Amino acid sequence: MSVHSHRYDMVVIGSGPGGEGAAMQASKMAKTVAVVEQSKQIGGGCTHRGTIPSKALRHAIFQMTSMMNNKLFRDNFASANLSFPELRRSAAAVIEKQVDMRVGFYERNDVDLYHGHARFLNAQTVEVCSADGGRRELTADVFIIASGSRPFRPPNIDFRHPRVFDSDTVLDLSYTPRSVTLYGAGVIGCEYASMFRNLGAKVNLINTRQKLLEFLDDEIIDALSYHLRERGVLIRHGENFDHVEYADDGVVLHLASGKQIKTDILFWAAGRSGNTDEMRLPEIGLEPNNRGNLNVNPDFQTTLPHVYAVGDVIGVPALASAAYVQGRYAAQHAFEGAAERTLIHEIPSGIYTSPEISSLGKNERELTSAGVPYEVGHSIFRSLARAQITGQTVGMLKILFHRETLQLLGIHCFGANASEIIHIGQAIMAQPGEQNSLRYFVNATFNYPTMAEAYRVAALNGLNRLF
C-alpha cells in the first residue's frame, strides 16, 4: 500500500482544548497546520468523556432535584424522578453542538484534520494510521503533543466487571445505583460524590490523603467537607485499598485498615495517566514518566526543542482552560521564540461539586509560610439578597489582600456559580501596580441583587479588620 506524505509547519497530536488552542494560534499566524485525532469525532476527552458530559449531567441532576425540592412544583411533578441514563442523555445534544462548532473552527482556519493514530517515525515525521488501514506520513518543523489523559487503571482491579467504573465508563451506567463507593477524593471523586448524592444514592468517598483537595484554601476544604457530610456523604480519610471482591449484586472494597465497604458500584477515581504509550516517543528520545506524562520546560518544550507538550499529558493543573492557553502559548513560542506569559499566569481552578468551588492566587497557608502580611475579607452568601431569592445560600467569597498595599493576593469562592464569580476578582488581580486594589470593590457600584455584590461586602469586611 502506498504511503501519502504531506508537509506542514506544525503538526498537532490531539484535538482537545490543548490541540485546538495550538492549531488556532498557529493558523492565525498564517502557518500550515495539521491536527491528528485518534477518535472518529474531534474534541478529545474534554468534549466526549470529561468536562462537557459531566457538567451537562450535573446540570440535569440540579434541575431535577431543584424541582423535586421546590414546594411549588413537588406535588404536580411527582414523576420527575429520572434515571441516571435519562439524565445522562441530556448531554448528547450539547456534545453534538460542541463538535459541530469545533469542526467549523478547523474548516474556517484551513486546518487539515487527520483521523487515526499518530506515531513518530523520526523527530520530524509522524505516521498516521487510520482505522481502515490507511497510512499517511506528516512531516513538520514543530510538533505539539496534546494527547490528553485517561483514568489510571491499576492492574489488580477488574475494570471489565459490570459493577466497576471509572470516569470514562461511568457515563454509560445503565441504571441509578442505590449505593456508590468512590475510591479517590480528588476533583473527579468529589464532583461525582456530589452528583450521586443528589441522585439519592448512599455515597462512600474514600480519600487516600488526610484532607479533601489539599491544594485549596483550608477554609474552603473545611466548608466542602462539612457540606458533603451534611448532605449525607460518608468521607473516610487516610485509607488505602487492599483488594476488591466482586459479586453479581455489587462490589466489596477491602481497605488496608481492615474495613470492608459493600456498594452497588465501585467508581475508581484515583489518578490519571498521560496518553503517550503508543506514540513511539522513545524512538525520538522522549521518555514519559511512570504516569505517562511528559516533562516540559516553562515554555512547554520537551527535551527536543521543536516538540512541545501541553494539557493533561504534562500533568497538573489538568484543566481544559489551562490546556487551551498552554496550546496557544506553545504555538506562539514555537514560531516567534517568545510568548505572552500572562496567557499562562494565574489560571483559576473551577471545581464543579455542588456547590461549586473556584480559586485563584495564593491561599492562607502559602501566604503565612511566606511571611506575607495579609488580611481576609469575607462575604457569607446567606446574607446576600440574590442568594436568598434563589435559595442557594450555601457558601462564601473570601478575598486575601496585602494589609499595607491592599493588593489582591488570592480569591477563594465556595457556592453557587463560584466558577463565574471568580472572574470579577481575576480582572482586578490582573491589573498593574496600584490598580490591583481591594478599594476597587468598595468604590464600584454593583447591580442589586446579584452574587457579584459579594465582592463589595467582602472588601468592606476586610477593611474593617485593618486598624
- 188 has binding-site annotation: yes
161 burial level (CB within 10 Å; 0-12, 13-18, 19+): middle
CB hemisphere CA count around 125 (13 angstroms): 10
Q: What is the residue whose three cell numbers read 496557544?
A: 328
For residue 139, report the phi and psi dihedrals to the nearest 5 degrees.
Answer: -105, 150
DSSP 142-189: EEEE---EEE---TTS-TTSTTEE-TTTGGG--S--SEEEEE--SHHH
- 337 has binding-site annotation: no
- 128 has binding-site annotation: no
Q: How many Å separate Cα 136 from the centre of its chain?
A: 33
Report whether the peptide linkage leading into residue 355 is cis, meaning its omega lies within 30 degrees of zero: yes
36 forms beta bridges with 13, 114
Q: How many Å separate Cα 315 from the centre of its chain?
A: 12
In this structure, are residues 268 and 205 in contact, taking their beta carbons and an 8 Å threshold?
no
Locate 376 and state its grid cell.
481576609
- Nearest-CA neighbor of 168 among 145, 197, 196, 188? 188
- 191 has binding-site annotation: yes
Local structure of 396: helix, strand or coil = strand
For residue 103, report the phi and psi dihedrals to the nearest 5 degrees.
Answer: -60, -40
- 166 has binding-site annotation: no
Local structure of 210: helix, strand or coil = coil
- 189 has binding-site annotation: yes
CB hemisphere CA count around 155 (13 angstroms): 0
Locate 18 and state its grid cell.
490543548
**Which ranges of 307-465 does DSSP label H, i.e. alpha helix?**
320-336, 364-369, 385-390, 418-429, 439-443, 454-463
- 375 has binding-site annotation: no
- 186 has binding-site annotation: yes
- 232 has binding-site annotation: no
| CA 452 to each of CA 13, 385, 421, 442: distance values in angstroms, whole numbers, following the listed order | 40, 11, 6, 12
Q: Residues annotated as binding site?
A: 55, 184-191, 271, 312
**Binding site members for FAD:** 55, 312
Q: Which residues are annotated as a binding site for NAD(+)?
A: 184-191, 271
